[in-house]
Structure 1
Amino acid sequence: MQENVKIGNVTLNFKHYSGVDLYSDGAIENDLLEIVKKYKKEEYQKVIEERANWPILYHLSEQRSNIVEWIPMDKNAKVLEVGSGCGAITGMLSKKAGEVIACDLSRRRSEINATRNQECDNVTIHVGNFRDIEPDLPRDFDYIFLIGVFEYGQGYIGTDNPYEKFLRMLQRHLKKGGRIVIAIENRLGLKYFAGCAEDHLGSYFTGIEGYSPDSVAKTFTRNGLINIFKKCGMNEYHFYYPYPDYKLMTLLHSDDYLPKFGELQDNVRNFDRDRLVLFNEKRAYEDLSKDGLYPEFANSFEVILGPGFDTIYSKYSNDRVSEFKIRTDIAIDKAGRKVIKKFPLTEEAREHVFGIRDAYLGLVEKYRGGDLEINDCQINEQEGCAIFSLLMAYRWLHSLISVLIEMTWRHLKLF
C-alpha cells in the first residue's frame, strides 16, 4: 500500500495502517462517503432533513464543530486531533489553526474526512492505532483535541491504568503552555437518570451503576476526571459544560457562569435511540442549580487542561439563515469586567454583526439628551466581533419600567 495518498489537498498517511478498520459504524459509512463526494458542505443540512437518521445528523451537522469553534486559537497554531473520525471537527480546526495532524483507526472514516475537507491544505491524517502512530508524532503541539475519544482509552492503549497512560503519552507531545482539550459525557449526566440510555453501550443506567471491566468505553464523573488529571501531574484544568451535550452543543457554561433559572429548556430530545421520560429534567436542573450542583449533573464536560480562556459562556445560533448565524459570548476583559461579544459564524453574518455598531450610533443620536442610556457597542477588528458591556437585568428592567411609566403618563395626559 502506498504510504501517502492525497485526496484533494489532504494527505492520508497509511504507514501504520494494519489493513483492517478497527472501528466502524457499518454500512452507513458507505452512504456518508457517497454524500460527501456528491454534495457541498452548504448542502449537508438538506441531506440531513431528507435522510432523517441519527448517523447522518451526527456526522454532518454543522453544530458538531461548535465544541471547538469557540476556542480562541492563533492562526499559526499546531494542532493534534486524536480520533478524527469522519471529519466533523477536523474542518473547523483546519480553519482556525496553521497545521492539523489527525489520527484515526479507520481508513474508511479517514477517507470520508479527507473528502469532505479536501479544500484544506494544512491537514494530514494518520490512519492506524494511536499507540503505533504516537512515536512518530511531533512534540510541539499547541493544542491536542480528544472530542468523544478519551472514553475509549482502554481500546487505544489497552494496558492497566489506560486513561492515565493515555494522558501521559499526550503530554509528551505538548509544547510548554499548550493545552489538551477533552470533550466527554458525564457518567452522572441528568439525562441518564431521566431515561436516556448510556451513549456507547445503549443500555439504561449502565454508567450510573458502574461499567463492567470489559466495557468498550468508560465515561467519568467530574471528580473522576480530576483524579486522573492529578495522577498525571496536571493540576491546571478548567471545566466547561456543553448543553444539551458536547455532540450538538448550543450553550456552553463554565464554573464562572452557570445556568440561570429556566435557561435549560432543551432536554427531551434524544436522536440516537428511543428514551424514557421518567421526570421533568427542566425542573430537576432548576432545583439542582439552585443548590450549586449543576456541574455534577451536566450531561457533558469540556475540559481545558492548561491555561484557561477569557470566555465563560457561549450561545450558538446555528439555526438561523446564514446572514444571522452568530455566536454570543460572555467573557472577562483585561480590566476584569464581564463583557458580551458577538461573532459571525459565516461570512454573510459579518455585515449583521458589524452593523450593530451603526445601530448603536443611531440610537445614541436618537435619544441624545434623554433619560434612556444606550449600551455601548465597539467593534474589535482583530477578533472580528462586536463588544458590549454586560448590564445586569435589574438595570435594564429599571430603565424599561421608567420608559413605560413615562409613556403611560403621557397617554393619560391626553385625556
Structure 2
Amino acid sequence: MDNKYIGNVKLDFSAYKAEDNYSDGDIEEELLQAVRNGNGDWLLHNDNRWPVLYHLSQERENLLSWIPLKGKSVLEIGSGCGGVTGALLSQAGSVECVELSPRRAEIAAWRHKDAAGFTIHVGNLNDMDSVLEGRFDYVTLIGVLEYAASFTHTAKPYHDFIRHCSRFLKPGGSLIIAIENRLGLKYIAGAYEDHTGRIFDGLRGYPSINGVRTFSHKELYNLLAESGFSGQEWYYPYPDYKFAYEIFSDEYLSHESQLDLPAYAAYDRNRLMFFDESEFVNALSDTKMYKDFSNSFLVFANLAGKIDISSYPRRVHFPRNRAPKYRLSTEIYADRVLKKAQSRVSCQHISRILENEMKMVEQYGRQHVAKSWRIDDYTMATEYVQGDSFNELCQCAWHESGRKGLDGYLDFFSRYILRGGTDGKIDIGSAGRCYNIDLNFDNILVNEGNFVFIDYEWLSGGATPEFVLWRSLALFYYYLPTSMEDMLADVDLCSRFGITDDMIKGFQAKEAEFLSEVCDPYMQKYEKEVRLVNIAL
C-alpha cells in the first residue's frame, strides 16, 4: 500500500502487512466520515455511544496535557483514533505514531491534519525496528500494555514487549504507561472489568482469559523492574486514565490524608455498585493505601535508574463538563499553583481571573487574597498558600461538636468572609461590588485564624450575599461523604441565615443560568445506569 498524505499528516504504509484485527466495528466508519467532513464535534455532542465518546472527546487529552514535553521527541504506540495525540502535538518538539489499523490511523490523521511534520506509521510495531530504533525521548503506551500477549507470542509477552519498546528510546529516555489497576477500587465496588465486561475478572487474576490482562501496583512495578526499568515515577489518575480529572503524584499522596473526591459516572456500560467508592478514598489516603487501589496508573519508567520530575506538578485538576472558552487545568507544585488554558479560546479567561484578583484585593485587602501573576498567554501562577481548607475545618467541627461546632464556622463565613471582611470595613451595599460566587469551601484556606481566597475564577456584579451563601452551602453539602450527608439530611443550613424557600427557587434559576454559560454537559448523554446493590447484612 502506498504512503499518502492527509493535510500535513503522512500515513506511512511501508511496514503494513494487512494484519489489522482490532476494531470497534462499523462505528469506526461513522467516525471516519464525521472527522473527514468536519463533523466530529457535532457527532460527539449529539450521540450517546461509548466509542464516540472514547475516541472523540477532548477530555481524553487530560491525561498527558500537563507533562512538560517542550522540545522532546515522542513516539505514541497504539495511537488509535488520536484520542490523546493532540496533547502530545500541542507540546512536544516532534511526534510520531504507530497504529496497526489503517482506518483508525486515517481517523487520527483527519483529526490532526494541520499538524506539520506529523507521521503515523501504519502496521505492526514488530516490523518497524529499523525505522524507529533509538530516536525518541519518550515512548507512550496508553491503554496498550494490557494487550501485549495478543501480538507478542513469547513465553513472557509483557516483559518482552516492554523490552522491545525500550529499543526506540534515546539514552536516558522514558516510557509513559497508562493502564488500569486490576485491584482498582471500582472493581471491588462492582464495576465490570473494562476489557472482558465481566465482574471480578481482574480481581481473580483473569481466569480462562487469554490475550489481555492488567496489573496491581506491585505486579506492574516488578514487571517494569524485571524488564530493566529500575527508574520509576508513579502518578494516579482519578477516576481512571481514560477520563482523568485528578492526577496525583506519590509525593502528594504521601503528605495528604484528605482527597475528598466526588463520585463519577459510568460511560462504557451499565454497572453494579456495592458501595460508593468516593466514601472510601479518604480512608485509603489517610492510611497511605490509596495507591494500591487507585483505578488506574500513569507510570514514567526508564533504564537509567532515576527520573527527574522536579518540573512536574504534584497534583493536576481538570474541571468536568467545562465549556471550551472556560476550560483551564490547575497544576499544584510545592511552591506555586498554575492555571493553564487548554486552548487559544480559553486564554481570555486567564485575563479575566487576573482582573478578578485586583477586585478582590480592593474589597478584602492583599492579606486575604492569594497573589497571582501571568507567565504567558496560556498560563498564570498563584502563590502556594499554607493552611487548612475551610471545608476540612467545617467537617472536623461537625464530627467533634455536632451542629454547634458547624454553626460556629458557618457564622464566621457569613459575617466575616462573605459580608464584611475581618476588619468590617467593606461596605456590602457599595455600588459596583462584585461577589465571588464560587466560594467553594475548598477555595478558602485558614491559617492561624486568617482566611485567604485561593481561587477567584467567578465574580458577579449581579449576585447577593444570600445567593453566594446558598451556593456555598449547596457545594459543601454536595461534596460531603455520604455518611455525613445522612447526618445532615434533616438539618436546614439555610434557614438560620434567613434564606427562604422562595429565595432558593430564584437562586436555582440563577444557578441554572450560570451553568448554561459555563458548562458543556454533553457527556451526561453518555452516562450509563448505575444500579446500587445493597449488600449490608
* Length-normalised TM-score, structure 2: 0.69
Of the candidates 273, 277, 299, which is equivalent to residue 277 of structure 1? 273
Q: 2:28 is matched with which residue?
A: 29
- Give the SS at the match of 1:103: strand
Of the candidates 381, 388, 404, which is equivalent to residue 382 of structure 2? 388
Alpha-carbon distance in structure 1 between the residues aligned to 2:364 and 2:85: 47
Q: 1:319 is matched with which residue?
A: 321
Deviation at 1:177, TM superposition (A): 3.0
Of the candidates 291, 295, 298, which is equivalent to residue 294 of structure 2? 298
Unmatched runs of 5 consecutive residues or more in structure 2: 394-408, 426-537
Q: 1:344 is matched with which residue?
A: 341
Moved more, 239-248 or 348-357: 348-357
- Give the SS at the match of 1:250: strand
- Give the SS at the match of 2:179: strand
Unmatched runs of 5 consecutive residues or more in structure 1: none
Alpha-carbon distance in structure 1 between the residues aligned to 2:238 and 2:4: 38
Q: Given residue 74 of structure 2, which amino acid in structure 1 is its aligned partner? A: V
- Give the SS at the match of 2:368: coil
Q: Say whether residues 1:216 and 2:200 are aligned partners.
A: no
Alpha-carbon distance in structure 2 between the residues aligned to 1:392 and 1:261: 15
Q: 1:403 is matched with which residue?
A: 416
- Give the SS at the match of 2:333: strand
Q: Per the alignment, do residues 400 and 94 of structure 1 end up closer, same or farther by CA in structure 2, a change over 3 Å counting? A: same
Q: Per the alignment, do residues 318 and 409 of structure 1 end up closer, same or farther by CA in structure 2, a change over 3 Å counting? A: closer
1:264-285 Cα offsets, whole Å, 9 max, x none, are 2124x22111211112212222
Deviation at 1:357, TM superposition (A): 3.2
Q: Given residue 73 of structure 1, which amino acid in structure 2 is its aligned partner? A: L
Alpha-carbon distance in structure 2 between the residues aligned to 1:275 and 1:367: 48
Q: Per the alignment, do residues 395 and 227 of structure 1 end up closer, same or farther by CA in structure 2, a change over 3 Å counting? A: closer
Q: Say whether residues 1:60 and 2:53 are aligned partners.
A: no
- Give the SS at the match of 1:209: coil
Deviation at 1:40, TM superposition (A): 4.8
- Give the SS at the match of 2:237: strand
Alpha-carbon distance in structure 2 between the residues aligned to 1:27 and 1:73: 35
Of the candidates 106, 114, 126, which is equivalent to residue 131 of structure 1? 126
Q: 2:356 is matched with which residue?
A: 359
Q: CA RMSD in A?
A: 2.5
1:9-29 Cα offsets, whole Å, 9 max, x none, are 111111221224221111111
Q: 1:264 is matched with which residue?
A: 261
Of the candidates 138, 141, 148, which is equivalent to residue 153 of structure 1? 148
Q: Per the alignment, do residues 17 and 260 of structure 1 end up closer, same or farther by CA in structure 2, a change over 3 Å counting? A: same
- Give the SS at the match of 2:74: strand
Deviation at 1:293, TM superposition (A): 1.1
Moved more, 29-38 or 313-322: 313-322
Alpha-carbon distance in structure 2 between the residues aligned to 1:262 and 1:331: 16
Alpha-carbon distance in structure 2 between the residues aligned to 1:108 and 1:288: 43
Q: 2:14 is matched with which residue?
A: 15
Deviation at 1:355, TM superposition (A): 3.8
Q: Given residue 189 of structure 1, which amino acid in structure 2 is its aligned partner? A: G
Deviation at 1:310, TM superposition (A): 2.5
- Give the SS at the match of 1:167: helix
Report the count of equivalent residues.
397
Alpha-carbon distance in structure 2 between the residues aligned to 1:61 and 1:395: 33
Contact 2:262 2:278 (8 Å CA) reproduced:
yes
- Give the SS at the match of 1:30: helix
Q: 2:250 is matched with which residue?
A: 255
Deviation at 1:82, TM superposition (A): 0.3
Q: Per the alignment, do residues 111 and 408 of structure 1 end up closer, same or farther by CA in structure 2, a change over 3 Å counting? A: closer
* Length-normalised TM-score, structure 1: 0.88
Q: Given residue 90 of structure 2, which amino acid in structure 1 is its aligned partner? A: K
Q: Given residue 315 of structure 1, which amino acid in structure 2 is its aligned partner? A: H
Identical-pair percentage: 36
